[in-house]
Amino acid sequence: MSQHILFDDIDEPGLATLQVYERRGGYSSLRRALQMSREEVLQNLLDSGLRGRGGAGFAMGRKASFLPKGTMDKYLVCNADESEPGTFKDRELMQKSPHMLIEGMVIAAYAADANRSFIYIRGEYELQADILEAAIAQAREAGYLGERILGSELSLSLVLHRGAGAYICGEETGLLDSLEGKRGNPRLKPPFPANQGLYQGPTLINNVETLATVPHIIRMGGENYAKIGTESSTGTKLVSVSGNVQSPGNFEITLGTPAREIIYDLAGGPFPGREIRFWFPGGSSSPVLLPEDLDLAYDFNTLAQAGSMLGSGAIIVVDDSVPVIDVALKLAKFYKHESCGKCTPCREGTNWTVKMLERLETGEATPMDLDIIASVQQQIMGNCLCVLGDAMAMPLGSMVARFRGEFEQHIEEARFRAGLGAPPEPSEVEIAGVGN
Amino acid sequence: MPRPEVKFVTFSIDGREVEAPEGAMLVDGAKYGDVEIPVFCYEPKLGEPVGACRMCLVEIEGIPRLQTACSTPVRDGMVVHTQTERVKEAQNSVVEFLLVNHPLDCPVCDKGGECPLQDITFGWGRGISRMVEPKRHFKKPLELSPLIAIDRERCILCYRCVRFSQEVSEDYQLVLHERGANSFVGTFDGHPYVAPFSGNIVELCPVGALTSRAYRFRARPWDIEGAGSVCTLCPAQCNVEFTVRDERVLRVLARENAGVDDGWLCDKGRFAYQSIHSEERIVQPLVREGDELRAVSWERALEAAAGALAKAKGKVGAIVGGQTTNEEGFLLQRIMREALDSPHIDARATGAAVPLELQRALAAPGLQATVPDLEFAHTVLVLGTDPIDDAPILDLRIRRGVRRHGVKLAVATSRPSALDPNAKLWLRYAPGAEQAFVAALDAALSGADGFDALAEAADADPKALLALAAMLTADSGSADDGAGGAHGGEDVVIVWGERLGVAALPALLNVAARLGLDGRPGAGLLELPAGTNGRGLREAGVQPNAGPGLAEPTQADGKSAREIAAAAAAGELTTLYLLHSDPLREHADRRLWERALERASTVITHASVMTDAIREHATVVFPAESYAEKEGTVVHPDGRLQRLRPAIGRPGMVRSEWQLLTDIAQRIGHDLGVLTGPMATQQLVAAVPFYAGLTLEEIGGRGVRWQEREAAAAAPAAPAGPFDAGTPAPAPMPNGALRLGTFRSIWASTEVEISPALRFLAARQQLEISPADAERLGLVTGDRVEVGADGTRVSATVTLRGNVPAGTIFLGEATAESSATELLGDQPRLVEVRPA
């Protein structure tokens, strides 16, 4: 069920050093790639079916193939601004095997014909940034970076840039603005980064895990890699499991593994005596799923069909000890705080949603307000400049829809506490959707 | 750079087939089918769309998500819907979101009644409010600057003002603080937003967040009328709309004309309207009685003026100010030439006449660059002028060309320019060495001998000069668009200032010939005259050595401005006629002018404000019309005739000045045959062959470039070059003293000084000095100093400026006090600087 590719040897002591990484066969994929033509390397990436691991799940090889030909400066940017709540897989990868990322970046740069590369790492990842900086220095020393890498035609610079702590800088165009030294605001697309990205030049931008997978694809061959996982979701995926489970952590799974196996077998399941109330399959911005969805295969398409998404591969489990409204408010506050303010629906929608949810607590709300909350989420979805607004609207909309009974109960109780209404009927918390 | 060709495509919007230019954004394309798509953040003048407000979401068949019409170009065969439920829902949503934090204080908001947020809420909103939560609060209103108030509660965060500051005026002062729903507009450290173009953000703001402090609470939109005219406060002649209430101008708005101003105004143009209604304005005729000027009847004043003029036949000199219309100038030169036998009339503040053949060569229709050419040329050279002071709006146009069309900009001036940071290349020469510099540039282009000596004479860096020559002759290879023909190479526009001086003109013409600018569309010369209507006045014959239409004068040449001053000082001319001109303030060599005015037996002037010259020397003062009251035409530096239309009635006893001039003529026994304003225009048109057939209707609201009319063929033949550039005198060597350079700040004018809102910006005398010289003299910014030569002293405050070349200082002209003109004579000056 779970084949280890990225996490094979991940706990090897000293893997972060060049010596150990090379001893484990590191950089042999780069040597092999440099023997091939750019087109062959790109073909391998296309054949592998590797989909972006950052959240959007766009085919990596295709994205690399979009970069225009020509002699201008082209950029490869690694998005290491891992800031989606619940996601912490890239942290482990960078911390334990930084050279895997560097090797992947050099190969990807070769495939995309990029000559300058950057890693944009979130500011809080100080330890990982220090480790990466040391690894970059080693790689440069050893000739894996710089001019004419390993005697080939390929030259590539690599700069590590630390972010300053804004969620929006994980959005690819916001990241590019921030990397250019501007306020990190998402840009209007099109033009897409492949055409006009960093400094208006062609730019390939990929997540850490995506790039770290590249050496393995070259080692195994793209077609062989594609045999792992399902047809539309090939390969393995790092999944961060957190929340109300007994052994949270990062696990490498083959795509298509049932979610139940991940949550129960790998992460230990809920604590004794607790039931899973709902779970986020792909980070805090994915619509929530219910216990009966646990048997879904964990891959891009199945989750999308179930009305949610695989996202960054972060499963957050919520059990019956947690009021759903607390989760909703926590989430809304996070997205309100992180909205950049550039576009109207996100800026005002997140702000308004928080105010409404807070009002539920004060007893001044009525069930009609739930309709407004739900409608506001609808108004945000699909109407924003980037996906941050949707990132709040999707899970919130799904929570209000699926747990309306509980929200209403909460409203009635709060009204009673505030001396505004009769005590509500003592009733079990209804979970809307159960039994439907 | 050739302008993109416009191709039309057909697309469907709301079931209608519409033809629109390819590449136009849907918002604009929709207008071709009479479909309005609401927008807040979209404003093409600001550059690329940002798609931030989301108001313009529309449905496009084949694209699952709604798209922003502001950023989606029209494509052939596109099918667009703006009236579906989905689109309406999205529009309702965005309006609702925008109102979440908007205070809805429309009844007390200046914008109420002309507010896009109101209109769009009414047109595309849901009509109900579901928001019961408290809104965000800010202290209000706050001063964003002395000119602009900011109400952050009303702000809908559309970013227009920030984009203007960052991408159009490039003053980089406005930013967005904080993020998300806490965002607010301000300057980085809270300092006042003072910049030459700051007022534009008031007009850009789609809500009442940014309001003009001068206009706040003065009127509501239903009290006012708009009156289109032209601002005559500088040669840029921006098209404006006066907001008029009860015969008072309360506000000035831009009236977009791509051929002139691109829809922007400088703060002088926007706020100096206050000078029209100043308490200090002269509104009745005055005649000197003893030491005093007394208010008198028109009859008395006309009699006094006509009597003095009639007596002084042959001994009258006239100085015409830049704000004079073509008609007024034309009529005055007729009086001077026909009735007074005194062809001594001049409008050039520089003092010297320009030989007629040079004028004709410079005015050759094929050699004129237009304002839009600044934006689409391959290379623009700014020579001897700083547009920010001489014609501010062109500064924005040049910036736009550099930013959006990749224009290569070179700046060659003696004084550091506001455009230096945008220039690919900037270089300096010594003030007074303009002739040597332009000759050196010509030599650099031709590879002639003597280049080194000329560069040295101009005290310019020879390497930079050669680089400039290379830049001007560069050939990108892509220029072969059929239009270039024999020339090849690239389109070059040279923007040059009248301040360059007469001596540099032959070399300038030679440079133009070498670059093949004549007859090349998109390339040419653009002169920025010192006075607003400098070009029109010359064409109307307001100069000593040419009649209307740059014709050979029928009499012997008259005297130039400086010669008039000298002759008056020597008693050869006894009567001076100052039409909107204060030579003490505006002309070089103030001391000579003081002697001239002192000695003249009669000084007749048209003026709107009392100045030292008038108070002490005027015999008869006629109240002048303001630019909002005038009727007539002016000519833009690129040859565009523009029409001034009276927006308000004249205050007090003020009369139209064309009529006043005909009355004076009548009284000295000469009938000009002008009974109405348009008749004056007719006479002018009849007298200038290259205006032939032009009517006020044809000029209309946007003006007409005479070079683009058939009659342009009647322009006087330009003599063939090359011209003898003469032997340039080398720049004086400082040898311990300092070279004096001068400039006229945009803020150095009476209109600024008497406008309450702008008074804080009025130019004060500042000594611009290089850090090296300042250190040598032990000066720091803010020190008071005296600058002197030959016993004359001007006091000033020290400002250190990095790009000022060592050995040179700069002082402002036409400041209210201690103007640099006191120190200017015929020759370039060396001055000394001493702590005061």
Is B100 within 8 Å of A352 when comparing Cβ atoms? yes
The answer to whether A341 faces chain B, any CB pair under 8 Å, is yes
Q: Which of A341, A350, A380 sits opposite B183 (nearest CB)?
A: A341
Report d(CA A89, CA A253) in Å as an integer: 12
Within 8 A of A380 by CB-CB distance, chain B residues are 93
Q: Look up tokens 């330009």; give the residue.
A: B718
Strands B286-289 and B57-60: unpaired
Domain end marker among A226, A257, A272:
A226
Pair (A244, A191) in one structural domain: no
Residues A299, A344, single domain; the answer is no
Cβ-defined contact of A336 to B55 (cutoff 8 Å): no
Q: Does A349 touch chain B (CB under 8 A)?
A: yes
pLDDT for B819: 87
Is some CB atom of chain A closer than 8 A to the CB atom of B20?
no
Task: Give pLDDT tens digits for B727-763.
Answer: 888 888 888 889 999 999 999 999 999 999 999 999 9
pLDDT band at B481 (very low <50, low <70, confident <90, very high): very low
Is residue A286 domain-shared with residue A407, that is, in the same domain?
no
**DSSP label at residue A94:** H
Residue A71: how many other CB atoms lie within 10 Å:
7
Residues B404 and B521 reside in one and the same domain: yes
Chain A neighbors of B159, CB-CB under 8 A: 342
CATH number at residue A354: 1.20.1440.230
State the Cα–Cα distance between residues B499 and B508, nearest whole angstrom: 13
> What would the two tokens of residue B748 be?
């150095």
Whether B836 shows a pLDDT value over 90: the answer reads: no
Output the domain CATH number for residue B804: 2.40.40.20
Please tell me whether residues B272 and B336 are part of one structural domain: no
Closest alpha carbon within chain B to A184: B179
Whether A422 is in a domain gets the answer no
- Judge whether B728 lies within some domain: no
Instruction: Say whether residue A182 is in contact with chain B using an 8 A CB cutoff.
Output: no
Nearest-10 Cα torsion for A116, A122, A128, A132: 10
- B156 lies within 8 A of chain A by CB: yes
In a domain, B95, yes or no: no
Phi first, then psi: give them for residue B73, nearest 5 degrees. -70, 150
At B1, the pLDDT band (50, 70, 90 cuts) reads low
Verify that B520 and B590 share a domain, yes or no.
no
User: Chain B window 768-807: which residues touch A at a Cβ cutoff of 8 Å?
Assistant: none
CATH code for position A293: 3.10.20.600
A390 and A280 assigned to the same domain: no
CATH of the domain at A101: 3.40.50.11540
B513's tokens:
């010939």
Identify the pLDDT of residue B823: 87
CB-nearest partner of A352 from B52, B94, B131: B131
Contact A239, A253 (CB under 8 A): yes
Residue B420: other Cβ atoms inside 10 A: 18
B66–A contact, CB cutoff 8 A:
yes
- Is B538 inside a domain boundary? no
**CA distance, residue B103 to nearest chain A CA (Å):** 14
Residue B835, CA atoms < 13 Å, CB-side half-sphere: 9
- Quick check: is A252 in a domain? yes
- Residue A337, chain B, CB below 8 Å: the answer is yes
Same domain, B320 and B257: no
Residue B315's CATH number: 3.40.50.740
B222, B156: one domain: yes
> Taking CB atoms and an 8 Å cutoff, what residues of chain B touch A341?
157, 176, 178-183
- In a domain, residue A73? The reply is yes
A372 shares contact with chain B (CB less than 8 Å): yes
- Residues of chain A neighbouring B403 (CB-CB closer than 8 A): none
Contact of A174 with chain B, judged by CB distance below 8 Å, is answered with no
Does some domain include residue A220?
yes
Question: What is the ipTM for the molecules in this complex?
Answer: 0.93
What is the C-alpha separation between A78 and B437, in angstroms, rounded?
52
Closest partner residue to A348 (CB to CB) among B57, B159, B181 is: B181
High-pLDDT (> 90) share of chain B, %? 87
Side chain identity, residue A203:
T
C-alpha distances in angstroms, B454 versus A254, B131, B159, B425?
78, 74, 50, 20
Q: In terms of domains, do B300 and B337 share one?
A: yes
CB-based contact (8 Å) between B67 and chain A? no
Name the average pLDDT for chain B: 94
Structure tokens at A412: 């009635």
Question: Residue A345 is nearest to which of B50, B94, B182, comparing CB atoms?
Answer: B94
Tell me the C-alpha distance between B748 and B364, whole Å: 32
> Touching check for B42 and chain A: CB below 8 Å?
no
A342 — contact with chain B (CB < 8 Å)?
Answer: yes
Digit-coded pLDDT (tens) for B238-285:
999 999 999 999 999 999 999 999 999 999 999 999 999 999 999 999
B654 domain residue, yes or no:
yes
Best residue in A347, A378, A381, A388 to probe B by mutation, most B CBs within 10 Å? A347
A432 in any annotated domain: no
Task: Say whether A382 and B133 touch across the interface (CB within 8 A).
Answer: no
Query: Taking a contact as any Cβ pair under 8 Å apart, which residues of chain A between 237 and 256 contact chain B?
Result: none
Q: Are B717 and B689 in contact (CB under 8 A)?
A: no
Quick check: B181 and A372 CB within 8 A?
A: no
Helix, strand and coil in chain A, % to nearest 5: 45, 15, 40
Q: Using the 3D structure, point to which of A296, A319, A342 is the last residue of a domain.
A: A319
> Which residue of chain A is at minimal alpha-carbon distance from B179?
A340
Q: Domain for residue A13, yes or no? A: no
Query: What digits encode the pLDDT tens for the residues B77-87?
Result: 999 999 999 99
Q: Would you call B53 and A344 a contact, using CB atoms and an 8 Å cutoff? A: yes
Q: Do B93 and A379 touch (CB under 8 A)?
A: yes
Q: For residue B2, what pLDDT is reported? A: 65
Average pLDDT, stretch B605-614?
93
Residues of A in contact with B176 (CB under 8 A): 183, 341
Min CA distance, B102 vs chain A (Å)?
A: 11
State residue A434's pLDDT score: 43
Distance CA A185, CA A176 (A): 9
Q: In this structure, are strands B408-413 and B379-383 parallel, antiparallel, or unpaired?
A: parallel
Task: Return the pLDDT at B41.
Answer: 96
State the nearest Cα–Cα gap between A95 and chain B, in angstroms. 31
- B404 & B524 share domain: yes
Who contacts A158 (Cβ-Cβ below 8 Å, separation ≥6)?
A102, A105, A117, A118, A119, A136, A139, A140, A145
d(CA B298, CA B654): 10
The reply to whether A155 and A176 lie within a common domain is yes
Q: Are residues A175 and A309 in the same domain?
A: no
Cβ of B71 and A188 within 8 Å? yes
Give the max Cα distance, chain B: 86
- The verdict on a CB contact (< 8 Å) between B181 and A384 is no
Pick from B652, B672, B700: which residue ends a domain? B700
Is the pLDDT at B828 greater than 80, yes or no? no
Q: Which of A384, A324, A381, A332 is nearest to A356 (CA)?
A: A332
Residues A278 and A187 both lie in one domain: no
Token pair 């309360």 is found at B250
CA distances from B490 to B439, B475, B508, B517 (A): 21, 6, 18, 10
Residues A183 and A266 in one domain: no
Q: What is the dihedral of CA A143, A145, A147, A152, to 10 degrees?
A: 70
In 3D space, the residue among B565, B624, B653 whose CA is nearest the CA of residue B323 turns out to be B624
Q: Report the distance separating Cα A222 and Cα A219, nearest Å.
A: 9
Q: How far is CA B12 from CA A56, A296, B80, in A?
A: 33, 44, 6
Is residue B379 within 8 Å of residue B474, measured between CB atoms? yes
pLDDT tens for chain A, 436 residues long, are 457 999 998 999 999 999 999 999 999 999 999 999 999 999 999 999 999 999 889 999 999 999 999 889 999 999 999 999 999 999 999 999 999 999 999 999 999 999 999 999 999 999 999 999 999 999 999 999 999 999 999 999 999 999 998 999 999 999 999 999 999 999 998 899 999 999 999 999 999 999 999 999 999 999 999 999 999 999 999 999 999 999 999 999 999 999 999 999 999 999 999 999 999 999 999 999 999 999 999 999 999 999 999 999 999 999 999 999 999 999 999 999 999 999 999 999 999 999 999 999 888 898 999 999 999 999 999 999 999 999 999 999 999 999 999 999 999 999 999 888 777 776 555 444 443 3
CB A155 within 8 A of CB A144: no
Identify which of A188, A359, A380 has the shortest CB distance to residue B49: A188
The pLDDT, as a whole number, for residue B483 is 41
pLDDT at A430: 47
Using CA atoms, how far apart are residues B748 and B631, in angstroms rounded to an integer? Answer: 26
Contacts of B148 (CB under 8 A, 6+ apart): B193, B198, B199, B201, B202, B210, B211, B212, B213
Residues of chain A neighbouring B96 (CB-CB closer than 8 A)? 379
My answer on whether A133 and A183 are in the same domain is: yes
Domain span holding position B194: 132-277
Q: Spell out the residues 6+ positions from residue B677 whose beta carbon is closer than 8 angstroms to its own.
A: B327, B631, B632, B656, B658, B659
The answer, for B157 touching chain A at a CB cutoff of 8 Å, is yes
Best to test chain B binding among A348, A354, A385 (most B CBs inside 10 Å): A348
Same-domain check for residues A92 and A149: yes
Cβ proximity of A238 and A7 under 8 Å: yes
Out of A350, A382, A385, whose CB is closest to B180?
A350
Interface A-B, measured as beta-carbon pairs within 8 A, has a size of 89
Q: Is B160 helix (H, G, I), strand (E, B) or coil?
A: helix
Q: What is the pLDDT of residues B311-351, one digit of tens each?
A: 999 999 999 999 999 999 999 999 999 999 999 999 998 87
Interface probe for A, chosen from B57, B95, B130 (most Cβ of A below 10 Å), is: B130
d(CA B19, CA B41): 25
Q: How many separate domains does chain A show?
A: 3
Q: Could you tell me if B270 and B295 lie in one domain?
A: no
Q: Does B97 touch chain A (CB under 8 A)?
A: yes
Residue B416 tokens, joined: 């550091």
- A359 neighbourhood in chain B, CB within 8 Å: 133
Q: How large is the average pLDDT for residues B526-539?
A: 96
Count of structural domains within chain B: 5
Q: Which of A339, A355, A383 sits opposite B179 (nearest CB)?
A: A339
B324 falls within a domain: yes
Q: Classify residue A167: in a domain, yes or no.
A: yes
Q: Domain ends where: A319, A336, A366? A: A319
What chain B residue is nearest to A348 in terms of C-alpha separation?
Answer: B97
Q: Do B299 and B265 share a structural domain?
A: no
pTM summary value: 0.94
Q: Which residues in chain B have Cβ-Cβ distances shorter than 8 Å to A183?
A: 176
Residue B476's pLDDT is what?
63
On whether both A99 and A198 belong to a single domain, the answer is yes
Would you put residue A434 in left (φ > 0), alpha (ψ -120 to 50) or beta?
beta
Give how far A379 is from chain B: nearest CA, Å: 6
Residue closest to B465 by CA, chosen among B430, B510, B429: B429
Question: What is the mean predicted confidence (pLDDT) over B655-680?
Answer: 96
Determine the Cα–Cα distance for residues B701 and B703; give it in Å rounded to an integer: 6
DSSP for B449-500, please give it.
TTHHHHHHHHT--HHHHHHHHHHHH---STT-SSSSTTS-S--EEEEEEGGG
Looking at the fold, whether B513 and B366 belong to one and the same domain comes out as: yes
> Is A340–B180 a contact, with Cβ atoms under 8 angstroms apart?
yes
Q: What pLDDT digit, counting tens, does each position of B179-231 carry?
A: 999 999 999 999 999 999 999 999 999 999 999 999 999 999 999 999 999 99
- Read off the pLDDT of residues B3-30 as tens digits, 9 standing for 90 and up: 778 899 999 999 999 999 999 999 999 9
Q: Using the 3D structure, point to which of B481, B498, B528 is the last residue of a domain.
A: B528
Say whether residue B57 is in contact with chain A using an 8 A CB cutoff: yes
Q: Are residues B377 and B505 in the same domain?
A: yes
Contact list in B for residue A347 (CB cut-off 8 A) is: 97, 157, 180-181, 183
Q: Is residue A424 part of a domain?
A: no
> Could you give the 3-state DSSP secondary structure of residue B382?
strand
B551-567 average pLDDT score? 93
Average pLDDT, stretch B61-75?
Answer: 95
Using the 3D structure, point to which of B83, B108, B143 is the last residue of a domain: B83
CATH code for position B434:
3.40.228.10
Same domain, B499 and B445: yes
Q: Which chain B residue has the Cα nearest residue A342? A: B52
Position B479 scores a pLDDT of: 42
B53 touches chain A (CB under 8 A): yes
Residues A23 and A162 in one domain: yes
Domain that holds residue A330: 324-417
